[in-house]
Structure 1
């Protein structure tokens, strides 16, 4: 592939979807989406694992038969011995590459090839070099990084593949407590998997009733959906090797086709943005982090100013 044209990748589903929905989602990605690399597994809450475990093997088989490369994600936060054992077992037993989303996984993976996910804070070139020296072959940079930082990190580390989080609600924080359960009068230990009721996250409003954030179990996400559509040519020119799409509760195969068209130069960013609004309706888009501004802002490529 021409190095000036990055490939598309798909991150793990952060939300709690029922097993059959999760399986069928990846089956469609395998059959219809122009995505070369897919990361699967549970990154947010270990209690959710039993929903997807019966389907993991068949999902991997379907994806690989379609020519996709598959990685498995580690948990983003390890707070219990049971979770520590899960991560150790994943690293020890998996025949697939691991994406580390927590420092404990990075420790276990030291010295063997692996990737680093967007939930690990890689904010400068020195950090990227250290991770590469310990075995990281690919790093998905945190979604809050501005383009100036992305360009600098990529330039300073020519031997590492870099990925940018280009579509999806931005993962902002993760906690040992479950605000999602609390919001519905439950506690984490008896959450009744209430987050299943919100397959695209639960909107949080300010006191002025303005949408502000989204809850996803123990994870806090942005209310807006990051959409680096008009920025794709700039990212390609900077040497970014992969563009990451984060699964939302919409037609992700269609989203992937749009991004692929922009990368191939067969559709303009303006056209793609209009089409994206139809695929993922009633969701505000943002790109402020990329431009070094408020993350929830939408900066017009034509004017360089925040769109109102």
Structure 2
């Protein structure tokens, strides 16, 4: 089982963003790293100058680099950005199917934002050049197994750690909360490097807002489900960057996957690394996504 580091979803300071990837390159036991702005194209200019050095550092460290596309492409400049992305030398991870015509059968990856819900869809995408597919995080294990076993030559990946991406919108919730418009947002989302918590009227944690994106309140943790996922044909687990020590998160996953630590001890370590955020794995077990099945295997899901 390999580990993939997903793209940073949040609006981090450009210097912090660069240093984060430098440290992941030098210290984290991950095999593949996805870089690029996939949530809001307005954020891209802030760290664009750092992209070459980040990619070089990751490549020199032996990591496979994927370039993530936007999740929602809606403007002419965004279409131009995606066209330029396709021309880059590294593999593109597609998060919006509007990128597909420009790829024209070239090798690429599919991100978790594309609705791959069955074997036919996966086979169609693989036939168009998709070598690896990160399945949507809401799939139960039975669906994961059916898709992955139907295409054994394709690398399938599952979202295994981080606040789960649930929706994307043309509206910016962050701006609206602060009485601003999307066009004049003042990049207010930078005030919440781990997203803006949303509570119910009763004060219970409900969702997380990240600009135009909606994420879960809970943090996915499939560490204890890794054996069942491997048995289902999954070959990589995705770790989504959160505002915590992601190097240690990656090391914790690697230690459990390699048998140097038990899953329960690993989850306890993760809770220390990312405190005050409840873990969940309900989607994989076919129950509400915010639920947690502790110490269980998803084999019967």
Calculate the TM-score normalised by the size of structure 2.
0.97
Q: 1:105-125, CA deviations, whole angstroms, 9 ceiling, x for partnerless residues?
A: 123223110000000010001
Quick check: 1:96 aligned with 2:108?
no
**Residues 141 and 302 from structure 1, CA distance in 2 versus in 1: closer, same or farther, beyond 3 angstroms?**
closer
Instruction: Choose the corresponding residue for 2:24, options 9, 20, 29.
Output: 29
For residues 272 and 286 of structure 1, the distance between their equivalents in structure 2, rounded to whole angstroms, comes to 15
Quick check: 1:115 aligned with 2:109?
yes
- For 2:40, the equivalent position in structure 1 comes to 45
- For 1:198, the equivalent position in structure 2 comes to 192
Instruction: Choose the corresponding residue for 1:276, options 270, 274, 278.
Output: 270
Deviation at 1:180, TM superposition (A): 1.1
Quick check: 1:143 aligned with 2:137?
yes
For residues 178 and 245 of structure 1, the distance between their equivalents in structure 2, rounded to whole angstroms, comes to 25
Quick check: 1:262 aligned with 2:252?
no
What SS does structure 2 have at the residue aligned with 1:212?
A: strand
For residues 303 and 288 of structure 1, the distance between their equivalents in structure 2, rounded to whole angstroms, comes to 12
What SS does structure 2 have at the residue aligned with 1:189?
A: coil
For residues 74 and 302 of structure 1, the distance between their equivalents in structure 2, rounded to whole angstroms, comes to 35
Deviation at 1:16, TM superposition (A): 0.5
Structure 1 unaligned residues grouped into runs of 5+: 1-5
For residues 300 and 7 of structure 1, the distance between their equivalents in structure 2, rounded to whole angstroms, comes to 23
What SS does structure 2 have at the residue aligned with 1:137?
A: strand
Deviation at 1:211, TM superposition (A): 1.1
Aligned structure 1 segments of 4 or more residues deviating by more than 3 angstroms = none
**Residues 302 and 129 from structure 1, CA distance in 2 versus in 1: closer, same or farther, beyond 3 angstroms?**
closer
Structure 2 unaligned residues grouped into runs of 5+: none
For residues 275 and 107 of structure 1, the distance between their equivalents in structure 2, rounded to whole angstroms, comes to 44
For residues 41 and 287 of structure 2, the distance between their equivalents in structure 1, rounded to whole angstroms, comes to 34
Deviation at 1:302, TM superposition (A): 4.5
Kept in 2: contact 1:232–1:262 (CA 8 A): no
Map of 1:288-303 to 2, 5 A cutoff?
288-302=282-296
Instruction: Choose the corresponding residue for 1:14, options 6, 9, 12.
Output: 9
User: What root-mean-square deviation, in Å, do the aligned CA atoms of Structure 1 and Structure 2 show?
Assistant: 1.1
What SS does structure 2 have at the residue aligned with 1:168?
A: strand
Deviation at 1:209, TM superposition (A): 1.5
Quick check: 1:236 aligned with 2:226?
no
For residues 255 and 273 of structure 1, the distance between their equivalents in structure 2, rounded to whole angstroms, comes to 10
- For 2:239, the equivalent position in structure 1 comes to 245
Instruction: Choose the corresponding residue for 1:220, options 214, 217, 223.
Output: 214
For residues 231 and 257 of structure 1, the distance between their equivalents in structure 2, rounded to whole angstroms, comes to 17
For residues 271 and 175 of structure 2, the distance between their equivalents in structure 1, rounded to whole angstroms, comes to 30
For residues 104 and 269 of structure 2, the distance between their equivalents in structure 1, rounded to whole angstroms, comes to 42
**Residues 166 and 303 from structure 1, CA distance in 2 versus in 1: closer, same or farther, beyond 3 angstroms?**
closer
Kept in 2: contact 1:214–1:221 (CA 8 A): yes
For residues 17 and 275 of structure 2, the distance between their equivalents in structure 1, rounded to whole angstroms, comes to 21
Quick check: 1:154 aligned with 2:148?
yes
Instruction: Choose the corresponding residue for 2:53, options 58, 79, 103.
Output: 58
Aligned residues: 298
- For 1:78, the equivalent position in structure 2 comes to 73
Kept in 1: contact 2:264–2:295 (CA 8 A): no
